[in-house]
């Protein structure tokens, strides 16, 4: 199969209406999309990614009002949707029967979001169905933030990549669920926990880190992994431990002594965590192709998008423990 990279929304819509796959840009990462209401189309997502079918998908819609066709929202969920959609924000909601069990891995709940990207919103508004779309990469690898990243991983497996430029957020959406009058965060991501707490006037609930049966996307303990072993922790101690190895560092804005600056990759010289998140996956992919023995990552400040960065790096290193 030939894979084409282009910017033709109409062509992308036609391919999706034919039951095939299209990689779509969002503000978070690129997604691998299919008609969410067509099980034969959705199966192709799992096959193209080598993704296990017990891992649920996120459904993308073109408007907040469209959500009511597929899921049930109470007043608090409505409030959250209107505050953070379109954006890097996903709601886990009780699903209606029209949503196939394949999309939710048999769960009675479906994860829904409205992406904040002009091309993909234009695409969604042309389609008579929502799009199921996990990240557009081979399962378990670093998520793609450019069309070229998608092509590098899925060329020959999908017909079309809709090129919307580099993703502006760079980490996946925050996933929340309203349980009674509480808000449970199932995945930290592009919308800050602090912003959600400011809206609802109280603390959110954070579930256990280890999830054996995911209720929504992005909960598996091992994920986002580079091929090169990645270790997160005290950089100075790890440099000493791997003194005989070819090492690279992923850091925020500080260089470390004892290693050439060319081997140290700072995500934001200004210490801006939003900028750092935008660059994270791209830098992880760059380092994975440079022949390093080990990638060492800092522990980032546990605030704002630093929480999402730490989460992704923690999951990326698990495979190598």
Q: Using CA of residue 261, residue 262, residue 265, residue 270, what is the dihedral sign?
A: positive
> By C-alpha distance, which of 173, 152, 129, 216 is closest to 23?
152
The pLDDT value recorded for residue 225 is: 81
Q: How far apart, in Å, are the Cα atoms of 50 and each of 55, 137, 152, 320? A: 11, 9, 15, 20
The pLDDT value recorded for residue 53 is: 87
Determine contact, residues 281/143, Cβ cutoff 8 Å. yes
The pLDDT value recorded for residue 174 is: 97
What is the radius of gyration, based on Cα positions, of the chain? 19
pTM for this structure?
Answer: 0.91
> By C-alpha distance, which of 279, 305, 297, 33 is closest to 173?
305
Residue with tokens 């809206």: 199
Residues of the chain with pLDDT under 50: 210, 319-321
The pLDDT value recorded for residue 315 is: 87
The pLDDT value recorded for residue 221 is: 54
The pLDDT value recorded for residue 215 is: 61
Residue with tokens 């022949």: 291
Which domains are present in the chain?
4-200 (3.90.870.10), 230-318 (3.40.50.11030)
Phi and psi torsions of 179, nearest 5°: -120, 110
How big is the CA angle at 161 (ends 190 and 165), to the nearest 5 degrees?
Answer: 50
For residue range 251-272, what is the model confidence (pLDDT) as tens digits? 999 999 989 999 999 999 999 9
The pLDDT value recorded for residue 320 is: 45
């Amino acid at each position: 199969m030939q894979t084409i990279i282009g910017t033709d929304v109409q062509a992308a819509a036609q391919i999706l209406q034919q039951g095939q796959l299209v990689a779509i840009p969002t503000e978070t990462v690129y997604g691998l999309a299919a008609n969410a209401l067509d099980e034969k189309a959705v199966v192709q997502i799992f096959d193209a990614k080598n993704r296990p079918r017990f891992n649920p998908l996120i459904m993308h819609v073109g408007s907040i009002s469209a959500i009511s066709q597929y899921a049930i929202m109470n007043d608090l969920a409505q409030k959250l949707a209107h505050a953070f959609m379109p954006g890097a924000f996903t709601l886990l909601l009780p699903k209606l029967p029209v949503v196939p069990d394949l999309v939710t891995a048999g769960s009675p709940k479906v994860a829904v979001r409205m992406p904040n990207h002009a091309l993909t919103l234009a695409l969604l508004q042309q389609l008579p169905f929502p799009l199921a779309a996990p990240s557009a990469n081979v399962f378990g690898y670093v998520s793609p933030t450019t069309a070229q990243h998608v092509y590098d991983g899925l060329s020959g497996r999908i017909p079309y990549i809709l090129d919307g430029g580099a993703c502006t957020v760079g980490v996946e959406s925050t996933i929340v669920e309203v349980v009674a009058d509480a808000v449970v965060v199932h995945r930290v991501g592009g919308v800050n926990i602090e912003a959600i707490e400011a809206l609802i006037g109280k603390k959110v609930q954070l579930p256990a880190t280890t999830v054996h049966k995911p209720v929504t996307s992005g909960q598996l303990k091992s994920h986002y992994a580079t091929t090169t072993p990645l270790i997160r922790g005290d950089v100075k101690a790890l440099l000493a431990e791997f003194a005989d190895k070819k090492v690279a560092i992923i850091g925020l804005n500080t260089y470390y002594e004892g290693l050439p600056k060319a081997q140290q990759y700072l995500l934001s010289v200004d210490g801006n965590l939003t900028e750092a998140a935008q660059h994270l996956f791209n830098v992880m992919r760059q380092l994975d192709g440079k022949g390093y023995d080990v990638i060492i990552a800092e522990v980032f400040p546990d605030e704002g998008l630093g929480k999402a960065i730490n989460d992704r790096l923690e999951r990326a290193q698990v495979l190598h423990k």
